[in-house]
Amino acid sequence: MVHKIHVNLNIGSYDISIGFNILKNFFISTVLLKNTNNIIITNHTIKNIIIKNKYYSVNENTKNIPLFSIPDGESYKNLKEVENIISFLLKKPYGRDVTLIAIGGGVVGDITGFVASIYQRGVNFFQIPTTLLAQVDASIGGKTGVNHVLGKNMIGSFWQPKGVLIDIDFLSTLPKEHLIAGMAEIVKYAIIFDYKFFVWLEKNYFKILQLQKETLLFCIKKCCELKVKVVESDEKESGLRFFLNLGHSFAHAIETHTGYGAWLHGEAVSVGLVMSAYLSVQLNILHKDYLYRIKTILYKIGLPVVGPKNMLPQDYLKCMLRDKKVLSGRIRLILPISIGQVELISSIDNNKILQVVKQFQERKY
């Protein structure tokens, strides 16, 4: 069975298709039959999976499609790789009728979408996410971009895909740490929007990590539905979509300071969620029992709940002041006020943030 979720936008509506072993038929009907000039953008790991025929439906349907592969990892989500992809397209040359097909995790999806948005002023692209994090979050909503040495995702655009194909069977190819990292974004959705979903995760996170099919399907579909509602109401992050940044100011600071790829994005988000909850408790916004439950579920999943040992409070603040969410030198943060509800707080003094980060690090979480 294939579940479809429609993303209803003023311009560029599309479908998200979710299921098991769905690529063979859906890839042909959704992508290949409608587009004759396709290019696959992927990474070296997925390329090897395709070439070595570990995932037969992908191999069968893509063997005659030109493929461009980028190295694995967040450190390669940069302008140099963007230029490499564009050079590949121009040397053929490919025109505005080209369709880019992103097969991979968040890095591949972000960089492919960004290239699609700028190549000859915009071409079509499809998302085929292969990681849990990409399936529940990164592939949906049209945020594209690359990193700058001074800040994560500082160069980018909003450019919606023509469709998203989520084949859950891809998750069996993931290293365990990447599966665990993807759970951070799932927990994030529950903290922001849905207390009952959080309770369900407390009871079922182990089944997700064991790749139990029905549990996985429910979880991924739930996250997609939550994100679609947000994107439909606020496509370009002027209001409600801002809430999806819960924990990300701290997380991006960790990723930028340690060097892209040293921490997986989900690992940094996990710490960011705990730090946001801790800050909220210190500001008398969140009850400490909720902080305990947030920290506990992330810890049980296997995610980190404390940041890098050698990262000082000043390091966090320096990186956070370059964040896209900063206005007029004021750091704006999404903080939980309970599980299932968050608020945008823009009145926190920078010295208070420094103080709370210092206190957080001194507490032995």
- Active-site entry in 47, 265, 295, 325: 265
The verdict on whether residue 257 carries a ligand-binding annotation is: no
The verdict on whether residue 108 carries a ligand-binding annotation is: yes
Catalytic annotation on 227? yes
Contact 61, 23 (CB under 8 A): yes
The verdict on whether residue 164 carries a ligand-binding annotation is: no
Cβ partners under 8 Å of residue 243, min gap 6: 192, 193, 230, 334, 342, 344
The verdict on whether residue 110 carries a ligand-binding annotation is: yes
Cα torsion at 342, 16, 78, 104 (round to 10°)? 120
Helices (H) and strands (E) in the chain, counts: 14, 11
Q: Which of 247, 55, 222 is nearest to 140 (CA)?
A: 222
3-state secondary structure of 340: coil
- Active-site entry in 227, 257, 295, 332: 227
Catalytic annotation on 248? yes
The verdict on whether residue 12 carries a ligand-binding annotation is: no
Give 3-state DSSP helix, strand, coil % of the chain, rounded to 5. 55, 20, 30
The verdict on whether residue 30 carries a ligand-binding annotation is: no
196 burial via Cβ count (<10 Å: 0-12, 13-18, 19+): exposed
Catalytic annotation on 237? yes
The verdict on whether residue 343 carries a ligand-binding annotation is: no
Catalytic annotation on 241? yes
Catalytic annotation on 121? yes
- Active-site entry in 248, 257, 295, 325: 248
- Active-site entry in 235, 237, 255, 267: 237
- Active-site entry in 91, 121, 203, 364: 121
128 burial via Cβ count (<10 Å: 0-12, 13-18, 19+): buried
The verdict on whether residue 178 carries a ligand-binding annotation is: no
- Active-site entry in 47, 162, 188, 241: 241
Catalytic annotation on 3? no
- Residues 282, 358, 322, CA angle at the centre, nearest 5°? 95
Catalytic annotation on 332? no
The verdict on whether residue 113 carries a ligand-binding annotation is: no
Catalytic annotation on 265? yes
The verdict on whether residue 143 carries a ligand-binding annotation is: yes
- Active-site entry in 162, 188, 252, 257: 252
- Active-site entry in 81, 124, 185, 332: 185
Residues making up the binding site: 72-77, 106-110, 130-131, 143, 152, 170-173, 185, 248, 265
Residues making up the binding site for NAD(+): 72-77, 106-110, 130-131, 143, 152, 170-173
Catalytic residue annotation? 121, 143, 185, 227, 237, 241, 245, 248, 252, 265
